[in-house]
Amino acid sequence: MTAPKPEQNGHGHFDLDAAVEAAIAEATGRPFRFQWRGKLYELPNQKLWPIAATDALVGSGNFRDFMDQLGHVADYNQLVADGINQAALEKLMNAVAEQSGVGDLPNSSPPRRRATTRT
């Protein structure tokens, strides 16, 4: 008699490969398309971004490294040449977040002032 496989006795392993394949299949996979200064651009669906791309954008706020991680350095160079600025970049990232279901994140409130007393 052969011993039962771990999957058969409830002590199996989690197959991350299969879970990711299923999640990707379920995701819309729609790329994010946008226009800047008359030129069209396309970013992959946010769920498909490599972690290194997310780290570059969220961790260090480095848009160039983010685009590099996505394989879009030429697009980055064109956006810069066409004068993209911080305001446009914020609008773009909010739109990307909105499409992915995160929504437009509010700005942080300014720090509260400490109450002072006259002496």
Does 37 map to a domain?
no
Residue spans of beta strands (DSSP E) within the chain: 32-36, 39-43
Does 83 map to a domain?
yes
Ranges of residues in the chain with a pLDDT under 50 are: 4, 104-110
pTM of the model: 0.64
Does 12 map to a domain?
no
Domain limits for position 63: 45-97
Q: What is the pLDDT of residues 93-119, one digit of tens each?
A: 899 888 876 554 444 344 555 555 666
Q: What are the φ and ψ backbone dihedral angles of 105, each rounded to 5 degrees?
A: -80, 135
Does 60 map to a domain?
yes
Does 4 map to a domain?
no
Predicted confidence at residue 106, as pLDDT, reads: 43
Q: What are the φ and ψ backbone dihedral angles of 67, each rounded to 5 degrees?
A: -65, -35
Number of domains composing the chain: 1
Does 59 map to a domain?
yes
36 SS3 class: strand
The angle formed by the CA atoms of residues 64, 68 and 70, to the nearest 5 degrees, is 120
* Residue found by looking up tokens 């446009």 in the block: 88
User: In one letter, which amino acid is 15?
Assistant: D
